Chain A
Amino acid sequence: MQTKRMTFSSRWLPYALLAPQVIVTLIFFIWPASQALYQSFLRQDIFGLRTDFVWFDNFSRLFADPLYLNSLKVTFVFSLGTTFLSMSVALLFAVMVNRMIRSRDSYTTFLVWPYAVAPAIAGVLWWFIFNPSIGIMPYMLKGFGYDWNHRSSGTDAMILVIIAAAWKQISYNFLFFLAGLQSIPQSLIEAAAIDGASRFKRFWTIVFPLLSPITFFLMVVNIVYAMFDTFGVIHATTEGGPAQATNILVYKVYRDGFVNLNLGSSAAQSVILMAIVVVLTVIQFRYIERRVNY
């Protein structure tokens, strides 16, 4: 391949042109990340008078800590639940809207709105809806004989945060699924209809497999979202409770670091999170290259 060589009038000009991006990355990513990495090897006493370099002790303590292991499990359940809920509802909406002809655009607009709502606001919204004393949902559930209380029931709390977190993400998934559905040639569906496939079968044997690249992409995006972008949702609704039932990793970093001031452990946790993001990103890029073309 031929490489393009640019000639600059001053040898400093290319560096100056790169500088803004490099400076932003350095200040807002490299510096804090390396601080976290460094912090994760340190331990302070309660009064902050002495700081010891403890190598990997923070990490080994974490993996021996039942609270941390619980948080890992909670995060796993939460991110899978959120991803599954937001993607399946989004796909359902996309299929239904795709069937509309004239009203398609207005439905799309409405369904995209929640994406503009801040995570904390979304959390508060669902907190009100599910509020055990004044919320409408517990009132209705009581009619079915279910006593909803996410302040005492860990399961209820988990369901609440999953719904609140998924609700926001549905818009995003919906747009991708709708675009995916519209890119499937109508003649394929017609050919399948002539080939004797029922509507249900057409969806699962033709449409869904053709959406698989989009589904995979969205799955990674949604897992990343659920793991790292849902701090506001948790903070506004359950604050990790009751009894650690919704204390996902990101929230635990904040709690241990900024509330309990265990900076070493908190830093070690954020380093682990960073590693998870890296892995997910690598997976995403590795597979996104292999998208099915049609």
Chain B
Amino acid sequence: MASITLDNLGKVYAGNVRAVTDVNIDIKDGEMIVLVGPSGCGKSTLLRMVAGLETITEGTLKIGDRVVNHLEPAERDIAMVFQNYALYPHMTVYNNLAYGLKNRGIAKPEIDRRVKEAAEMLQIGQFLDRKPRQLSGGQRQRVAMGRALVREPAAFLFDEPLSNLDAKLRVQMRVEIRQLQKRLGTTSLYVTHDQLEALTMADRLVVLNGGRIEQIGTPMELYSRPETVFVAGFIGSPAMNMLPSDYLRGQVAAEALAHVPAKADFIGIRPEDMALGPVQEGALALSGRLLLLEPAGAESHLHLRFEGMSDTVVVRLPHVPDVAEGSMLNFSVPRDKLHPFDRESGKRLA
């Protein structure tokens, strides 16, 4: 167990291609940090720098109290779970788990004890004699997990470990990984492009974009108070609606927007913060024409066209309303649910 400190970490590839810029993260002992961002945002590069699979060109990386910038991956006391699992195809499950321990010269009985223990924890005990190709995707995933945890490392690194699984298994494994991580209390760095995975698993979330950190915080902090337009759009599904503030000022009374900074160019409203029906006291009144109603069982998504606005607005309701497509609907938005942003900097204003 150890903390991990990323101090001004940066990566520049040969030919002056910049992948990661000025990343500062303090991962506390036992914490699960999720790196999330779109493809090409540098999250995998960052993880591989921590693992030692990519050289660090700027800044310092500490695991525990040691600076590990120039240590080999094996010397960093970390274990990694790969997206394609990277199981050794010619070895049995048992040998896959034991390989790292054998390389470290651990005694046979101790190896045996740890492998059996991990196998039991992950319910792969009956597969120990099989080769990876005889296992299903979920079982391989467990073996990959097992290989990481038999080592009893200071930290786990996960590189999109669930993206090769089908949707149902993904949810199941997500829960299992999180439970296991909490039980073992091992510091973890988890990379994903799936914002739902990120929100549900993280102690703290790091949103990356273009090789830079957009925001760090707990999932709820990021959700309820995104600091940049990018985070606002990336976290949450359906994405936050961005309404031009000029449009909004033309629609509602000035005093309803008194608390919004005058220089705000955009005002973000989450789809679930718009309630169908008459305006409540002290709330904004908006109306639009229903283009499409998407019922989704427990909830529904309404796609609306607001008069004078080019983008459609999405509203999420906790029920399926009895309304006809093409009709005009009225919504009310509480004043404190507005997220004002500046266009130029992309930053939140209040």
* B312 at interface by CB-CB < 8 Å: no
Shortest C-beta distance, A281 to chain B (Å), equals 26
* A215 CB, nearest partner CB in chain B, Å: 13
Q: Any chain B CB within 8 A of the CB of A12?
A: no
Q: Are A196 and B133 in contact (CB under 8 A)?
A: no
In the assembly, what is the distance between CA of A189 and CA of B53, in Å? 10
Q: Does A104 contact B (CB under 8 A)?
A: no
Cβ-based interface call for B231 (8 A): no
Contact assessment for A193 and B74 in the assembled complex, using a CB-CB cutoff below 8 Å: yes
Given A206-B88, A210-B89, A210-B90, are A187 and B82 also a contact pair (CB < 8 Å)? yes
| CB pair B99 A192 closer than 8 Å | yes
Contact B89 A194 (CB under 8 A): no
Instruction: Give the B interface residue count (CB, 8 A).
Output: 23
Contact A194 B78 (CB under 8 A): yes
| Residue contact B90 to A190, C-beta cutoff 8 Å | no
Q: Classify the secondary structure of A's interface with B.
A: helix
Contacting pair B133 A185 (CB below 8 A): no
Q: Determine the residue in chain A with the shortest Cβ distance to B14.
A: A101
Q: Provided the pairs A196-B104, A293-B133 are in contact, do residues A185 and B86 lie with their beta carbons within 8 angstroms?
A: yes
Q: Which residue of B lies closest to A191 (CB)?
A: B86
Interface residue ranges of B43-98 to A (CB < 8 Å): 51-53, 72-74, 78-80, 82-84, 86, 88-90
Closest B residue to A190 by beta carbon equals B53
User: Are A194 and B90 in contact, CB atoms less than 8 angstroms apart?
Assistant: no
Q: Contacts A187-B82, A188-B88, A191-B86 known; A197 to B73 CB distance under 8 Å?
A: no
Per the bound structure, the CA–CA distance linking A38 and B259 in Å amounts to 107
| Count: A-B pairs, CB below 8 Å | 63
If A210-B90, A292-B90 touch, whether A194 touches B79 (CB-CB below 8 Å) is: yes
Q: Which of A188, A201, A293 contacts B103 (CB 8 A)?
A: A201
Q: Which residues of A contact B90 (CB under 8 A)?
A: 209-210, 212, 292, 294
Does A289 count as interface, using CB distance less than 8 angstroms? no
Nearest chain A residue, comparing its CB with the CB of B159: A187
Tell whether A190 pairs with B74 under 8 Å between CB atoms, given A196-B104, A197-B103, A293-B133.
no
Bound Cα distance A72, B147 (Å): 51
A192 to B72, CA, bound (A): 12
List of B residues within 8 angstroms of A294 by Cβ: 89-90, 133
Residue of B nearest to A197 (CB): B103
Bound-state CA distance A197–B51 (Å) is 15
CA distance A194 to B100 in the complex (A): 8
Is A193 touching B84 in the complex (CB atoms < 8 A)? no
Which residue, B82, B83, B86, B147, has most C-beta atoms of chain A within 10 A? B86
A188, B144: Cα distance in complex, Å: 12
Q: How far is the CB of A144 from chain B (nearest CB, A)?
A: 39
Q: How far is the CA of A13 from the CA of B90 in the complex (A)?
A: 50
Which chain B residue has the least Cβ–Cβ distance from A184? Answer: B89
How near does chain A come to B48, taking the closest CB pair, in angstroms? 8
Q: Which residues of B contact A191 (CB under 8 A)?
A: 80, 82, 86, 88, 147
**Chain A 263-294 interface mask (CB, 8 Å, partner B; 1/0):** 00000000000000000000000000000111
Q: By CB atoms of chain B within 10 A, which of A187, A191, A212 has the most?
A: A191
**Bound complex: CA A292 to CA B151 (Å):** 28
Any chain B CB within 8 A of the CB of A195? yes
Interface residues of B in 83-126 (CB under 8 A from A): 83-84, 86, 88-90, 99-100, 103-104
Contacts of A194 in B (CB 8 A): 51-53, 73-74, 78-80, 100
B229 to chain A, nearest CB (A): 35
Complex CA–CA separation, A11 to B196 (angstroms): 68
By beta carbon, the residue of chain A nearest B157 is: A194
Please, how many angstroms separate the alpha-carbon atoms of A209 and B79 in the complex?
Answer: 23
Residue in chain B with minimal CB distance to A194: B73
- Would you give the shortest CB distance from A217 to chain B, in whole angstroms? 16
Given A187-B82, A190-B82, A292-B90, are A196 and B53 also a contact pair (CB < 8 Å)? no
Q: Which A residues lie within 8 Å of B73 (CB)? A: 190, 193-194
Report the nearest A residue to B89, measured CB to CB. A294
Do A196 and B89 have beta carbons less than 8 Å apart? no
Contacts of A292 in B (CB 8 A): 89-90
CA distance A141 to B90 in the complex (A): 44
**Given the known A-B contacts A201-B103, A210-B90, A294-B89, are A196 and B84 also in contact in the complex, defined by CB atoms under 8 Å?**
no
Q: Mark A206-233, 1 if CB is under 8 A from B, else 0.
A: 1001101000000000000000000000
Contacts of B89 in A (CB 8 A): 188, 210, 292-294
**A190 CA / B84 CA spacing, docked (Å):** 12
Taking a contact as CB atoms under 8 Å apart, the answer to whether B53 and A195 are in contact is no
Q: Is the CB of A190 within 8 A of B104?
A: no
A193–B151 Cα distance when bound, in Å, is: 13
B157, chain A: closest CB distance, angstroms:
9
Q: Which residues of A contact B78 (CB under 8 A)?
A: 194
- CB of B303 to closest CB in A, whole Å: 41
Q: Is B72 a contact of A193 with CB atoms below 8 Å?
A: yes
The docked-state distance in angstroms from the alpha carbon of A293 to that of B72 is 30
Report A's interface with B, CB cutoff 8 A. Answer: 185, 187-188, 190-197, 201, 205-206, 209-210, 212, 292-294
Chain B interface residues (CB < 8 Å from chain A): 51-53, 72-74, 78-80, 82-84, 86, 88-90, 99-100, 103-104, 133, 147, 151
With A187-B82, A194-B52 given, can you name 9 additional A-B contacts, CB distance below 8 Å? A187-B86, A190-B53, A191-B80, A191-B82, A192-B99, A193-B73, A194-B80, A194-B100, A294-B89
- 7 closest residue pairs by CB, A with B: A294-B89, A195-B100, A196-B103, A187-B86, A196-B74, A191-B86, A194-B73
Q: List 13 A-B contacts (CB under 8 A).
A: A187-B83, A190-B73, A191-B88, A192-B88, A193-B52, A193-B53, A193-B72, A193-B74, A195-B99, A197-B74, A205-B99, A212-B90, A292-B90
